Amino acid sequence: MNKVFPIEEYEERLRRLRLVMTTRDLDAVIADESEMLHYFTGFAISENLYRAAVIPRDGTPIMIVRKLDEQPFLNAAWFENRHAFVDTDNPIEILGEVLGEMGAANGRVGLDMNSYCMPVARFCQLEGVMPNVDFVDMNDVFRPMRLQKSPREIDVLRKAAAVADKAMVRAIAAAVPGASSRQAAAVASKAFVELGADFGRTGPITVGRGWNFMHGKLSDDPLQPGDILHIELVPKVNGYCARLMRPAVMGPPSPEVEDATAALISLQDQQFAAMKPGANAGEVDVILRDGAVKAGLRPDYVNNTGYTLGYYFEQAPRTSDFTRVFTKDADWELEAGMAFHMYTSASAGVAISETILVTPDGAERLTQLERRLFQCGEGAA
């Protein structure tokens, strides 16, 4: 099986991690969240039983993996060093053995104290197995490491964005009179698989009412004249996710809906123009946030206007990555190589979004579909 990236990609990631390990005098690091497993090994798996990669300051990492998942690990990872366990083994005890073999039984070991794979009870068990280890929090390191995408990662994001563009056209065309949001979703899901996405999970497709409709559910009800079909597509290619929202109205749109869509697009275009390396995220956010309220598009603006995009494991508890978010209080700077889902909505029931890459010259829209209000059934044969 072909690996997602060549070994050089992972060597560079380990090089950056080991600079931090040296600074913090760490003997080893434990990576257990699926996203971080994938980042350092090329392999990710659900946590039916605990699994982790243990990364020494020098040498090859070792994967602690369920015997049942050993072959998928070998297919995907860039290295073969592993400790495969059977279902009756205790993986935390095995983790302790591996750390001992690395000479870290009395040393300093980094791990993410905010990992969804390291709850309090498990951490207490780990401390019991390794009582002389000084565990050091790496929460401030792991996720920020993934913020700036490499050229290879950007290439995969481009592929995912192209899937979103093409699938959106098909989904809108499927929303003919008498069709439901479920039928549009079925077409989008089929398009994902045909176009090269990992699987067919589409994202929310629902009828827009108010401004906070974006996480609504599918319906079997036929679309009615005046309904605004909200389509958010979230295709993944090799786990890397692009996101795209477009509104499509059933029948002639009202002047309110037309005006709201045009105003949102104009404000968001201004926001994109400000997304340059070195820009302050709070200042980028306020362009859209204050602009939408001043224009009467919403009575207030309580959600963020964008968040990090990249690799998402399909079975992780987080469906979005808020390592960096655009809010009025955000006080961080944009850097070249960062990718974001920038989105907005109005009380008229419309929402629009793009996958945006920050380049040395400013924002690049990876999703390329025309930015406008669509008609349901548009493009149908």
139/166 same-domain check? no
Q: How far apart are CA 257 and CA 19, in angstroms?
A: 53
CATH assignment of the domain containing 205: 3.90.230.10
Q: How confident is the chain (381 residues) per 10-residue block, as mean pLDDT? A: 87 98 98 97 94 97 97 97 97 96 95 96 97 97 97 98 98 95 96 97 85 72 93 97 97 95 98 98 98 96 97 89 97 98 95 98 98 94 67
Domain span at residue 181 reads 151-375
Say if 380 falls within a structural domain.
Answer: no
Single residue among 121, 145, 169 that ends a domain in this structure: 145
Considering the domain architecture, whether residues 159 and 284 belong to the same structural domain is answered as yes
Q: 113 and 240 in one domain? A: no
Predicted pLDDT at 246:
97
Nearest to 285 by CA among 330, 226, 349: 330
Residue 352 lies in a domain: yes
Q: What is the 3-state secondary structure (H, E, C) of the chain?
A: CCCCCCHHHHHHHHHHHHHHHHHCCCCEEEECCHHHHHHHHCCCCCCCCCCEEEEECCCCCEEEEEHHHHHHHHHHCCCCCEEEECCCCCHHHHHHHHHHHCCCCCCEEEECCCCCCCCHHHHHHHHHHCCCCEEEECHHHHHHHCCCCCHHHHHHHHHHHHHHHHHHHHHHHHCCCCCEHHHHHHHHHHHHHHHCCCCCCCCCEEECCECCCCCCCCCCCECCCCCEEEEEECCEECCEECCEEEEEECCCCCHHHHHHHHHHHHHHHHHHHCCCCCCEHHHHHHHHHHHHHHCCCCCCCCCCCEEECCECCCCCCCCCEEEEECCCCCCCECCCCCEEEEEEEECECEEEEEEEEEECCEEEECCCCCCCCEECCCCCC
Q: Is residue 259 part of a domain?
A: yes
Are 104 and 74 found together in one domain? yes
160 and 140 in a common domain: no
| Domain match, 233 and 358 both | yes
Domain annotation covers residue 1: no
Pair (189, 281) in one structural domain: yes
Same domain, 13 and 80: yes
- Domain tally for the chain? 2
> Within this chain, do residues 91 and 201 fall inside the same structural domain, yes or no?
no
